[in-house]
């Protein structure tokens, strides 16, 4: 017998599975028409969906709004780029990103996790501003130009390898990678640790009386979100061959938040849907008018006012009802 939260998580899994089916159909169509452009765009959309996933683990589960989550996305991208320029190996890059993010996430978490509500949002924002301006000014990191000339990689799997230059293969690889991050987040947030986070969001003062540490749980959630953002960011230089300080700017953090709100806060699957939908909307509206931000801004305002739980907040409860009916007999 599943409780309500596990049931919701199962509903999210089904929705993600649906997303994978859509992605595979898209990949098939793109492959049969010999497309490159849309495959690269879709890969980028998936990478940024990873950032949105990271925002949702914080906003959806602890209720903390990370206004500067792009900090970790950009950090992952820069570390990955620096490693790849020296030693072009995927696994080394991912390993270094993982370990360094553990340290940086812990540092940022100790600073930010003491604050609550709006102060957390502002600290997160401030940290991202400081770091992005510093990176913007350091000539060794390419300053405003960023780092260029990241070589094309062959990701070794022993039996076979995937080239980052092959659009279809790298798209499928990125899809699997982001799914892995989703599975990791979904698993951890469905454990007792995840329940503590949800309890924190509901009533922070009562959690210590139940014997749990507020600071510890929040710090762990912060590091988890930092890892998801950084690991997604690590794929960026492999796709585009460069990184720039813009990756840490507020616009990137803001976009991830828009994606999460659009898709549905606290559903994880919604972050992926919302972020991909946003990229889609951007490129479709972008072909009609260069002022596509006005459309996105208006859609965003409408969602915040009329659909505060996002698209999946609308779809998922219905799916949950179906699931619980199937379970009863």
Partner 1 sequence: MDGVLSYIQFILAPQMLTGLALGVAVVLVALGLTIIFGLLDVINMAHGEFYAVGAYLAVALGLAGINFWVLLLLVPLIMAPIGYALERGLIQRVFNTGEDRHVTTLLLTFGLAMVIEELILIVFGVATMRPATPIPGAIQVFGMFLPNYRLFLIAFGLLVVAGVAIAVYRTRFGSMVRAAAFDRDMAASLGVPVSQVYALTFALGVALAGLAGVLLAPIYSVFPTMGRDFVFIAFTVVIVGGMGSIVGAVVAGLLLTQVQAISSLFISPVWSQPIVFGIMVLVLVLRPQGLFGRLGHA
Question: Which residue ranges make up the site for partner 1 (CB under 8 A)?
Answer: 59, 63, 65, 111, 114-115, 117-119, 121-123, 125-127, 129-130, 133-134, 136-137, 254, 257-258, 261, 291, 293-294, 296-298, 300-301, 304-305, 308
Distance CA 76, CA 265 (A): 24
Cα gap 303→307, rounded to integer Å: 5
* Token pair of 122 as six digits: 């502002």
Residue 271, CA distances (Å) to 30, 48, 163, 262, 305 in order = 24, 10, 28, 8, 18
CA distance readout (Å), 257 to 248, 250, 285: 14, 10, 20
Comparing CB distances to partner 1, the nearer of 123 and 189 is 123
Element (H, E) at 279: helix 269-288
Least distance in Å: CB of 254 to partner 1? 7
For partner 1, the closer of residues 27 and 65 by Cβ is 65
Residue placing its CB nearer to partner 1 in the complex, 100 or 129: 129
Nearer to partner 1, 65 or 223 (CB): 65
**For the CA atoms of 140, 145, 147, 149, what is the dihedral angle to 10 degrees?**
-130
Task: Name the residue nearer to partner 1 (CB basis): 84 or 258.
Answer: 258
Picking from 95, 64, 92, 104, the residue whose alpha carbon sits closest to that of residue 257 is 64
The 3-state DSSP class for residue 84 equals: helix
Closest separation in Å from C-beta 253 to partner 1: 11
User: Judged by CB, which is closer to partner 1: 2, or 302?
Assistant: 302
């Amino acid at each position: 017998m599943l409780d309500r939260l596990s049931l919701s998580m199962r509903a999210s899994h089904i929705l993600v599975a649906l997303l994978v089916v859509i992605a595979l159909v898209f990949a098939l169509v793109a492959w049969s028409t010999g497309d490159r452009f849309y495959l690269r765009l879709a890969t980028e959309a998936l990478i940024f969906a990873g950032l949105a996933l990271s925002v949702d683990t914080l906003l959806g589960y602890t209720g903390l709004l990370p206004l500067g989550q792009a900090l970790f996305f950009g950090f992952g991208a820069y570390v990955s780029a620096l490693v790849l320029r020296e030693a072009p190996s995927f696994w080394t890059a991912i390993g270094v990103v993982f370990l360094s993010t553990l340290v940086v996430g812990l540092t940022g978490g100790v600073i930010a996790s003491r604050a609550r509500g709006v102060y957390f949002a502002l600290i997160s924002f401030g940290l991202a501003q400081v770091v992005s301006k510093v990176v913007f000014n350091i000539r060794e990191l390419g300053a405003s130009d960023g780092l260029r000339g990241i070589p094309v990689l062959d990701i070794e799997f022993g039996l076979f390898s995937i080239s980052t230059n092959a659009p279809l293969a790298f798209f499928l690889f990125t899809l699997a990678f982001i799914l892995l991050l989703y599975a990791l987040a979904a698993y951890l947030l469905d454990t007792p640790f995840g329940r503590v986070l949800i309890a924190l969001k509901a009533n922070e003062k009562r959690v210590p009386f139940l014997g749990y540490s507020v600071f510890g749980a929040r710090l762990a959630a912060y590091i988890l979100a930092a890892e998801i953002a950084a690991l997604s960011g690590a794929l960026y230089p492999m796709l585009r061959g460069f990184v720039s300080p813009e990756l840490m700017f507020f616009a990137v953090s803001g976009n991830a938040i828009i994606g999460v709100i659009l898709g549905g806060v606290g559903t994880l699957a919604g972050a992926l849907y919302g972020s991909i939908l946003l990229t889609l909307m951007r490129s479709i509206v972008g072909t009609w008018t260069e002022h596509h931000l006005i459309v996105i801004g208006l859609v965003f305002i409408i969602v915040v006012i009329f659909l505060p739980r996002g698209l999946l907040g609308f779809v998922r409860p219905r799916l949950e009802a179906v699931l619980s009916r199937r379970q009863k007999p």
